[in-house]
Amino acid sequence: MKKLSFFLIIFSILVNPVKSEIPDYETRDLNKNIIEHRWKVVRTNFIGIKGYSIELYTLSKNGYILKCQVAYFQDRLETYCMEP
């Protein structure tokens, strides 16, 4: 009986591998992450720094977290997303 339990546990581990890969995301496009990759916005924060502002987004999907920052300059904006 112990051998059968051991083999069942090993078999279930081999058949159902744990998915440790973070879901797809774009490093330079917050909108694609929300619309196409279906990440959900959890929180937003604003930070003011000399000459520009930064908006920080915390996104989540399937238990994973993604941090995105949008920097607003006078003539452009820049977006960068990464997993913490």
Per-residue pLDDT of the chain (84 residues; tens, 9 = 90+): 555 555 556 555 555 555 568 899 999 999 999 999 999 999 999 999 888 899 999 999 999 999 999 999 889 999 999 998
The domains of the chain are located at 22-82
Three-state secondary structure call for residue 41:
strand
Three-state secondary structure call for residue 32:
helix
Query: The whole model's pTM is what?
Result: 0.73
- The percent of residues above 90 in pLDDT, for the chain, comes to 63
H-only helix segments in the chain: 2-15, 30-35
